[in-house]
Amino acid sequence: MSSSVIPTSVPATGPQFSVFPNEIFIKIFIYLLQIPATAKMGTIVDVRYFQFHFRFGQLPKLRRVSKLLSPLAIAAFYQANVFHFRLLFSKRVERNAFGAYGLPLLPPPAFRKCLRSIRIGIHLVDFFLLPATGEPTAHTTANGFVRTPIVSTSQLLAVCPGARFLHGLGETLGGLQALELDILADFRMRDLQKGIQVYRDAQFVVRVAEVKVNFVDGLTIGHQVWHDDLKQAIGL
């Protein structure tokens, strides 16, 4: 057979694939990877369907084309679709030693800036837990801890993953265009406004074009009127 015969397939390597910048590949992949409105599982990607999309359909096919193109396909998948990171009812989310829930499982750090539209649950608190040493009080828990009020920004960021998420939002998720927050506001101290002032002092800056906030029922005390104060305190 003549050596001039054109092969039926061309490997995804070499100069023919280096002609185009990565941005062109990503735009093509976004077109291919956007979940259609008619999808039976819906267009929202959450923990229930995440593995399905990674194992079946267009994404794994594109990832197998080339090691060079695989990360571009993943980046395009995150850019093209809406993701829901659930806080409640997730076996992966547990309370830390201070009594605050951690964050839902997020994409690897290298791909977080690729996210464009997300819904995420976060837990915000006005207290942290310390071992009880004296007589029980109204803030002593059944398992031997006492709820202690958070009084400074440094304390807040040290004990509350939800607050750290908001504080570093621009750095870790700098590509976001739409953000829906499900806030579980767990304020247990008597003076709610003191706790809200700590959030105000933290000077959160949320630079996202479209923001929606939902306050989730469950652990709060007092009337929901103060939710508006908390929302304003964190710049939403």
To which H or E segment does residue 123 belong? strand 117-125
| Cα–Cα dist 229/192, whole Å | 10
Domain stop point among 45, 80, 115: 80
**Do 67 and 90 share a domain, yes or no?**
no
Looking at the structure, do residues 89 and 204 belong to the same domain, yes or no? yes
Query: Is residue 149 domain-shared with residue 49, that is, in the same domain?
Result: no
pLDDT value at residue 9: 46
What does 41-61 look like in DSSP terms, one character per residue?
T-SEE-TTTHHHHHHSSHHHH
Task: Report yes or no: 183 and 122 within 8 Å, Cβ to Cβ.
Answer: yes
Helix (H, G, I), strand (E, B) or coil at 181: strand
In the listed set 64, 80, 96, which residue is the last one of a domain according to the structure?
80
Percent of the chain with pLDDT over 70: 87
pLDDT tens track for 149-201: 999 999 999 999 999 999 998 888 989 999 999 999 999 998 999 999 999 99
Judge whether 132 lies within some domain: yes
CB 189 within 8 A of CB 151: no
Q: What φ, ψ does residue 78 adopt, rounded to 5°?
A: -70, -35
The one-letter amino acid code at 4 reads: S
154 and 59, same domain (yes or no): no
Q: Are residues 163 and 188 part of one domain?
A: yes
Tokens for 28? 């093509």
Residues 90 and 184 in one domain: yes
Q: How many domains are there within the chain? A: 2
125/105 same-domain check: yes
- Helix and strand numbers, DSSP H then E, in the chain: 11, 7
Does some domain include residue 8? Answer: no
Q: Which domain holds residue 149?
A: 85-233
Tokens of 26: 């990503």
Q: Does a structural domain hold residue 131? A: yes
The predicted model scores a pTM of 0.84
Q: Are residues 55 and 89 in the same domain?
A: no
Is the residue at 148 inside a domain? yes
Nearest alpha-carbon partner for 123 in 152, 92, 83, 93 = 93
Look at residue 91 and tell me if it is in a domain. Answer: yes
State the greatest distance between any 2 C-alpha atoms of the chain, in Å, as a whole number: 92
